Structure 1
């Protein structure tokens, strides 16, 4: 007989016992205290009402004394290859279990969430590995997170990947969700189970300045290390630019995070298991302002990682995208803080890689008293680049095997004499600003 609009939803067979974490130790059947098992519901009308937040329809489907302790099947958006018996593979949709509470929390249906909780939905149910609180925080629905926490949801429970709700805070309601979790007892330095990341690691990696500030004010450790030895400062300096258009925004966020972490006591020279330091990562990604900030905190410019790379190596081996972020500033800052110069035999390779950034070539060449390039080096620069930067490359190749100007030789002699004291001594010299800038390798877009 067909069911009418007001008929109860069709609920399928009962499932076997769920993990004890899902039941709680005093209600698990294994303890001899049976509890009605959740029903598997395949009623499409109920699921449609849940996904659309149709409160009136759900009030009809869940009258007083009914239960919302149900399981729903959800399918992945894309089919995946899966193996069945006899070694056969087929392309099928991966099915996962969820609950009405999870659907409401992930969609931000606060009133629906309240109704389901009144109908005995369990706030910490996690048939698919996540609780409804994980879903609410991942979607940034602070009002839903508040309802669940008031109903007794565990603010520190790990999901199937070992991540706690505080690790998953995203979206417009990130700060509100994080504040609620901390107020209801979430550990500010709670770690994920595999990566051993703290929420501060996640905030730093994602460039979320406001969240990092909140966590630090609530006592988060700025020098906590994850399973690979990374600190939040390392995570912040490793921020990559998704595109040249986003370079300025990414670098600005990275700079704000580094200021914040260093002010909170982060170790500016902390190394990971591969001996990579914040300066190595900032140089590799071309974050010039961050490099200058780290150098102002006295980090070493010539420390090598396990691969034998110094910060200058990292800067010169960075991705081509760093061209949009003034790599010449990074190279100049390192050289003005005592970085060991590039081996002369490697200069042709550097010229070939960075020829489209003539200022990077300029600042490197201005640390040598003689232009140490082979005469055939001109062939390393594409004709269109030679034409675009004609004045600079004309001056560069005119100096091959030729003496440099007396003024430049004097600069080289003074910088060599000051050596390791360069970053501290140069600003203290009683010299006119223009001459001081010259000694600090100011750009002139031509070589003498």
Structure 2
């Protein structure tokens, strides 16, 4: 084969260019044509020759590399070996096939199909950028690698941002990488900054002209949607400073606030999502914007059992009783999720909603709630304490598994005993006052300098027993 790529003597025959496959690849990959004509820093001032004429043309044409020593040097970041392999006259824009984890049907010849692992096309530039090998990346760029080459559907800049490698992103941008390049999946580099460590990548992209208003092609997400969905406080703050749109809606009709509230998260991340929502709300985000399913941020926050976010939205004017398209209120959502979100303390959400005037469950449905939420007795406690009386029958005891009763004996014994005795006078006084102050309970209580214990009692504090 006529090429000037230098290899070890044991592997000189391994890089190959299959002309038929290469022609098919050229026709099916729109990225190739733009890359072929994109000047790189090492090519400034040079005149390109037609294909097959001159070393520059040979160096820029994509070749298929199967040399394991070259691949190992790239994947391990062996700068010394890369300096040996990638000389100034070498073919830099090599295509390397990496095997993905998913099986798919493929055909290399017409009529013959086989089930094999998906082949992902990558290049030396992509490999070094995705692994943070800045020295290797600089070498390749100085030797003439095409900075926006994207045989696998993404540029090296996409890879650097996805890996949160700010140094590599900075280097690629300095060599002319397009901060607005669109991947095959319709994502720009800014949309791939999904981890807390990627904040410096966001800064670099914005400084080099990336637009905070650009959207992903399928989902219609802006960078603010992405940052909010992943609970990235620093990203949200930075994007807002650069003019990100608070009320931009994606294909699902979600604003960034909706996206943050809708994203399931672990208990240890609840504070992070609260701070994101707080930042968006304080910047002017609407707390009542509905998505395509007529779900508001409060509906979504309650599905994820984040009490602090629910409290934030309610204090900013969220409608506690509005229904989604499916007919659910926020209280319905938290009761449906309680059994699966025990570590999130769903009882706090039930308490918050009731104290903000949520319409209570029809008493005839309390048995159904008990069957579903028995593993979260405090949610049952808050709900039962919002009524002056409930009809407790033998079916209630049958609705709670024995092992749950044994785990919370004091509470469930007190609940089942309500079938034989009335509620206490203290509880009845609480219900009377709550009914009288309905709709303005929190406002009035904040002005009444009540003893702390009485204040908590009126707001349905948990005692793990009913009386």
User: TM-score scaled by structure 2?
Assistant: 0.86
Judged with a 3 Å threshold, the aligned counterparts in structure 2 of structure 1 residues 376 and 46 are, in CA distance, closer, same or farther, namely closer
Most deviating of 209-218 and 423-432? 423-432
Aligned counterpart for 1:24 among listed residues 31, 34, 54: 34
Matches within 5 A, 1:366-385: 366-385=385-404
Matches within 5 A, 1:17-96: 17=26, 19=29, 21-24=31-34, 27=37, 34=50, 36=57, 37-77=61-101, 79-82=103-106, 90-96=114-120
Does the residue aligned with 2:17 lie in a helix, a strand or coil? strand
Does the residue aligned with 2:115 lie in a helix, a strand or coil? strand
Please give the alpha-carbon distance, in whole angstroms, between the structure 1 residues aligned to 2:358 and 2:35: 61
Please give the alpha-carbon distance, in whole angstroms, between the structure 2 residues aligned to 1:86 and 1:10: 25
Does the residue aligned with 1:91 lie in a helix, a strand or coil? strand
Q: Which residue matches 2:434? A: 415
Most deviating of 416-425 and 7-16? 7-16
CA distances 1:256-293 after superposition (whole Å, capped 9, x unpaired): 11111112211122211111111111111111111111
CA distances 1:45-102 after superposition (whole Å, capped 9, x unpaired): 3222222222222222222333412222222245445478898763312223222211
Please give the alpha-carbon distance, in whole angstroms, between the structure 2 residues aligned to 1:86 and 1:125: 28
Contact persistence 1:139–1:170 (CA under 8 A): no
Judged with a 3 Å threshold, the aligned counterparts in structure 2 of structure 1 residues 437 and 69 are, in CA distance, closer, same or farther, namely closer
Judged with a 3 Å threshold, the aligned counterparts in structure 2 of structure 1 residues 325 and 52 are, in CA distance, closer, same or farther, namely closer
Does the residue aligned with 2:350 lie in a helix, a strand or coil? helix
Please give the alpha-carbon distance, in whole angstroms, between the structure 1 residues aligned to 2:409 and 2:90: 81
Matches within 5 A, 1:338-349: 338-349=357-368
Does the residue aligned with 1:435 lie in a helix, a strand or coil? helix
Please give the alpha-carbon distance, in whole angstroms, between the structure 2 residues aligned to 1:437 and 1:172: 37
Contact persistence 1:206–1:239 (CA under 8 A): yes
Q: Which residue matches 2:193? A: 169
Please give the alpha-carbon distance, in whole angstroms, between the structure 1 residues aligned to 2:422 and 2:164: 64
CA distances 1:275-313 after superposition (whole Å, capped 9, x unpaired): 111111111111111111111112111000000000000
Contact persistence 1:347–1:373 (CA under 8 A): no
Q: Which residue matches 2:45? A: none
Please give the alpha-carbon distance, in whole angstroms, between the structure 1 residues aligned to 2:433 and 2:216: 52
Q: Which residue matches 1:364? A: 383
CA distances 1:114-156 after superposition (whole Å, capped 9, x unpaired): 2222222111111110001111111111111111111111001
Aligned counterpart for 1:327 among listed residues 340, 343, 346: 346
Judged with a 3 Å threshold, the aligned counterparts in structure 2 of structure 1 residues 8 and 172 are, in CA distance, closer, same or farther, namely farther
Matches within 5 A, 1:46-195: 46-77=70-101, 79-82=103-106, 90-170=114-194, 173-195=197-219
Most deviating of 301-310 and 12-21? 12-21
Judged with a 3 Å threshold, the aligned counterparts in structure 2 of structure 1 residues 66 and 397 are, in CA distance, closer, same or farther, namely closer
Q: Which residue matches 2:17? A: 12
Please give the alpha-carbon distance, in whole angstroms, between the structure 2 residues aligned to 1:45 and 1:347: 68
Please give the alpha-carbon distance, in whole angstroms, between the structure 2 residues aligned to 1:424 and 1:172: 38
Most deviating of 406-415 and 336-345? 406-415
Please give the alpha-carbon distance, in whole angstroms, between the structure 1 residues aligned to 2:427 and 2:63: 83
RMSD: 2.7
**Displacement of 1:430:** 4.8
Judged with a 3 Å threshold, the aligned counterparts in structure 2 of structure 1 residues 33 and 295 are, in CA distance, closer, same or farther, namely farther
Please give the alpha-carbon distance, in whole angstroms, between the structure 1 residues aligned to 2:296 and 2:457: 30
**Displacement of 1:216:** 1.7
CA distances 1:169-210 after superposition (whole Å, capped 9, x unpaired): 255740111111111110122110110101111111112222
Give structure 1 stretches of 5+ with no counterpart: none
Judged with a 3 Å threshold, the aligned counterparts in structure 2 of structure 1 residues 63 and 405 are, in CA distance, closer, same or farther, namely closer
Please give the alpha-carbon distance, in whole angstroms, between the structure 1 residues aligned to 2:179 and 2:411: 61
Does the residue aligned with 2:328 lie in a helix, a strand or coil? coil
Does the residue aligned with 1:12 lie in a helix, a strand or coil? coil
Please give the alpha-carbon distance, in whole angstroms, between the structure 2 residues aligned to 1:87 and 1:79: 19
**Displacement of 1:9:** 6.8
Contact persistence 1:8–1:61 (CA under 8 A): no
CA distances 1:224-274 after superposition (whole Å, capped 9, x unpaired): 211111111111112323xxxx41x12111111111111221112221111
**Residue 250 (1) aligns with residue 269 (2):** yes
Please give the alpha-carbon distance, in whole angstroms, between the structure 2 residues aligned to 1:51 and 1:445: 57
Matches within 5 A, 1:262-281: 262-281=281-300
Most deviating of 316-325 and 77-86? 77-86
CA distances 1:409-440 after superposition (whole Å, capped 9, x unpaired): 22222222222223322332353333232222
Judged with a 3 Å threshold, the aligned counterparts in structure 2 of structure 1 residues 140 and 231 are, in CA distance, closer, same or farther, namely same
Judged with a 3 Å threshold, the aligned counterparts in structure 2 of structure 1 residues 413 and 74 are, in CA distance, closer, same or farther, namely same
Give structure 2 stretches of 5+ with no counterpart: 1-6, 39-47, 52-56
CA distances 1:1-27 after superposition (whole Å, capped 9, x unpaired): x97269697442453346555433994
Most deviating of 307-316 and 385-394? 385-394
